[in-house]
């Protein structure tokens, strides 16, 4: 019995800091060694999405390893599955096999005497940098999303912290480098969310409710969806009510938003895509026109009092209504 207890204790002690990057204790990463959050909900490690030798530091869900929720060095991949995470100059730093800096958190904080900095992967999937004796974060990956939003992660801007949290798509299905599409919250009089391709709108959501300091939310059996609009902040987030569920909102490389939710015992995830069809694309039919749906396809129709311009090259283009 004592031997068994000792064995369990050794395992617990050896894995106690598997979710942390400690001062003066570099964390060695490889294709066989990853970091886990305390309850093993999320994993931080190196992954290779394609066939070529490009390796990335990412975070993914333990039960769904294909669901990468965040990528650190998306535009500066490693050439080998070898890396080291260190606390260096008040930052979390990723070094390659030669000790060259590949990625870092770009913080400017100083460390007070007796309060060292640590990096930690939380059960929410958030990688944070904090003082060992403080719960506040000096830096967190949730403030710098890549292409995905998960529970408790905000999308939008915050004037007080000078943050604008925007999703940016992958370049392709197996290339996590920065793609052409972004999804963010904008305030031009009204608060709205846009999908843009190289800065050009491709989808616009309806105006957000602008009740000062008000939270407007949609409650489901497994999640709460909320928006917050004040003078200093406009943000959207959702929160799962059960740890056995997993949900992710992703901006794919084709410019669509897809929310996938895994529910226990369900054979496949619940999915919702925006835009749902071609009529959902921004300015699909151009000025003075409507996009109508029938059973087989989407059609562009003129508003009353307008007629279509002549079509060129055998097909209609945006703005062919007069």
- pLDDT for 169-179, tens place per residue? 999 999 999 99
Q: Are the C-beta atoms of 89 and 76 separated by less than 8 Å?
A: no
DSSP state of 232: S
CA angle 194, 70, 278 (to 5 degrees): 35
pLDDT at 58: 98
Confidence bin at 314 (pLDDT 50/70/90): very low
Q: Are the C-beta atoms of 41 and 54 separated by less than 8 Å?
A: no
For the record, the structure tokens of 259 come out as 């929310």
Which are the contacts of 233, defined by CB distance < 8 A and separation ≥ 6? 156, 157, 158, 159, 160
What pTM, to 2 d.p., does this model score? 0.83
- pLDDT for 31-62, tens place per residue? 899 999 999 999 999 999 988 889 999 999 99
Using DSSP's 3-state secondary structure scheme, residue 40 falls into coil
pLDDT at 108: 62
Tell me the torsion sign for CA atoms 78, 82, 88, 92. Answer: positive
CA angle 238, 243, 245 (to 5 degrees): 70
The mean predicted confidence, pLDDT, of the chain is 83
Mean pLDDT score, 287-307: 71
Mean pLDDT lowest among 131-140, 192-201, 284-293: 284-293
CA dist 84 and 133 (Å) reads 24
pLDDT at 103: 98
- pLDDT for 78-112, tens place per residue? 999 999 999 999 999 999 999 999 999 987 655 55
- pLDDT for 229-280, tens place per residue? 888 999 999 999 888 999 999 999 999 999 999 988 887 899 989 877 677 6
């Amino acid at each position: 019995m004592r031997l068994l207890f000792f064995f369990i204790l050794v395992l617990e002690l050896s894995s106690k800091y598997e979710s942390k990057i400690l001062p003066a204790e570099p964390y060695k990463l490889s294709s066989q060694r990853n970091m886990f959050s305390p309850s093993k909900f999320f994993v931080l490690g190196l992954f290779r999405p394609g066939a070529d030798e490009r390796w990335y530091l990412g975070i993914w869900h333990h039960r769904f390893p294909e669901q990468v929720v965040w990528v650190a060095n998306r535009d500066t991949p490693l050439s080998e599955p070898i890396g080291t995470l260190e606390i260096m100059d008040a930052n979390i730093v990723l070094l390659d096999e030669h000790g060259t800096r590949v990625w870092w958190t770009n913080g400017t904080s100083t460390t007070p005497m007796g309060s060292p900095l640590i990096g930690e992967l939380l059960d929410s999937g958030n990688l944070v940098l904090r003082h060992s004796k403080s719960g506040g974060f000096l830096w967190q990956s949730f403030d710098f999303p890549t292409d995905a939003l998960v529970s408790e992660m905000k999308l939008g801007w915050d004037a007080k912290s000078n943050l604008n949290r925007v999703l940016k798509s992958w370049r392709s299905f197996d290339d996590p480098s920065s793609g052409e599409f972004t999804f963010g919250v904008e305030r031009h009089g009204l608060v709205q969310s846009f999908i843009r391709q190289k800065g050009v709108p491709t989808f616009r959501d309806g105006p957000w409710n602008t009740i000062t300091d008000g939270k407007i939310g949609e409650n489901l059996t497994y999640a709460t969806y909320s928006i917050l609009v004040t003078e200093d902040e406009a943000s959207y987030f959702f929160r799962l009510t059960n740890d056995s569920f997993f949900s992710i909102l992703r901006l794919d490389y084709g410019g669509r938003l897809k929310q996938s939710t895994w529910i226990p015992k369900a054979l496949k995830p619940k999915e919702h895509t925006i835009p749902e069809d071609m009529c959902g694309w921004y300015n699909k039919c151009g000025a003075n026109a409507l996009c109508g749906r029938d059973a087989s396809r989407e059609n562009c129709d003129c508003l009353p009092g307008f007629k279509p311009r002549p079509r060129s090259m055998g097909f209609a283009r945006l703005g062919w209504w007069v």
